[in-house]
């Protein structure tokens, strides 16, 4: 039997994760993303956290070991800890914050088309790749009806703020974002 590992890009590092560790990693990052929903710069912090995970796991790998397992990932995540947002005032400091309200937004960074799938994945906590595969399947089965659904969501879902460190958007996500903003302005559509 051969166990296949997943290659994961964590900010500036590339590592191999086995299935269990990969699932745990995705869960941690999704949790962090939802905790950072109210933060103006979630992308920057998530990139930092990804790098922290990569560094911590690399440090824990044995010399011959190439694939990260839960044995490395769990203590790494333990050391990094879950995301704590800095209190903005006396009212919110100290008290364990109620989960930040989840917002359904399109995420342009890393999007294939406009970021609807990434946004839905974040909102509902689904794996984005699985969601995209599902969308393509649905596209084939529905004979194109999904395109209308996608376009409607594109028009209605607000866009998440762009990352502060200005990672460039893909050509298509950039165009989609610009086009939707144009349409919304033209028809006075307030998204959100």
Partner 1 sequence: MTAESKLAPIRKGLLEFLVLKIVGVKSVYVPDILRQLAGTEFTTQEGTLYPLLSKLRREDLVQYEWKESDAGPPRKYYRLTDTGRAQLAALDEYWTLINRTIANFGH
Please calculate the CA angle 132-135-138 and round it to the nearest 5 degrees: 155
> Judged by CB, which is closer to partner 1: 80, or 146?
80
Cβ–Cβ under 8 Å, residues 114 and 180: yes
- Per CB under 8 A, the segment of 73-81, 120-128, 152-160, 183-191 that binds partner 1 is 73-81
| Residue 67 phi, psi dihedral angles, 5° rounding | -110, 125
Determine if 49 is a binding residue for partner 1 (CB under 8 A): yes
Considering only residues 148-187, where is the footprint of partner 1 by CB under 8 A?
A: 164
**37 binding partner 1? (CB under 8 A):** no
Q: What is the pattern of x (binds partner 1, CB under 8 A) and - over residues 12-31?
A: xx------------------
Whichever of 43 and 118 has its CB closer to partner 1, that residue is: 43
- List helix spans (H) across the chain: 19-35, 42-60, 70-80, 116-124, 128-142, 145-156, 171-186
Residue 154 C-beta: closest distance to partner 1, Å: 29
Q: Which is nearer to partner 1, 37 or 156 (CB)?
A: 37
- The helix (run of H) or strand (run of E) holding residue 13 is strand 13-17
| The two three-digit tokens of residue 16, written as one number | 């191999």
The answer to whether 84 contacts partner 1 (rule: CB under 8 A) is yes
Among 2, 3, 86, 190, binds partner 1 (CB under 8 A): 86
C-alpha 91/C-alpha 127 separation (Å) is 35
Neighbours of 145 (CB within 10 A): 11
Stretch that binds partner 1, among 35-43, 67-75, 129-137, 175-183 (CB under 8 A): 35-43
Side-chain-facing half-sphere of 89: CA atoms under 13 Å: 1
- Which segments of 36-125 does DSSP mark as H helices, in order? 42-60, 70-80, 116-124
- Is residue 145 near partner 1 by the rule CB under 8 A? no
Stretch that binds partner 1, among 17-25, 52-60, 103-111, 138-146 (CB under 8 A): 52-60
Residues of the shown chain interacting with partner 1 in the complex, contacts defined by CB under 8 A: 11-13, 32, 36, 39-41, 44-45, 48-49, 51-52, 54-55, 58, 79-87, 90, 93-95, 164
């Amino acid at each position: 039997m051969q166990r296949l590992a997943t290659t994961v890009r964590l900010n500036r590092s590339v590592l191999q994760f086995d299935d269990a560790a990969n699932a745990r990693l995705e869960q941690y990052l999704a949790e962090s993303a939802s905790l950072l929903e109210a933060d103006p710069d979630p992308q920057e912090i998530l990139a930092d956290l990804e790098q922290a995970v990569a560094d911590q796991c690399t440090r824990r790998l044995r010399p011959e070991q190439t694939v990260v397992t839960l044995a490395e990932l769990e203590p790494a995540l333990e050391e990094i800890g879950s995301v704590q947002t800095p209190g903005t005032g006396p009212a919110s400091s100290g008290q364990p914050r109620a989960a930040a309200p989840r917002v359904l937004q399109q995420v342009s960074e890393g999007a294939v088309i406009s970021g609807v799938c990434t946004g839905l994945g974040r909102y509902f906590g689904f794996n984005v790749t699985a969601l995209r595969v599902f969308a393509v399947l649905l596209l084939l089965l529905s004979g194109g009806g999904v395109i209308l659904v996608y376009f409607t969501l594109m028009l209605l879902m607000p866009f998440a703020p762009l990352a502060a460190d200005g990672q460039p958007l893909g050509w298509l996500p950039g165009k989609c974002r610009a086009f939707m903003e144009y349409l919304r302005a033209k028809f006075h559509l307030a998204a959100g």
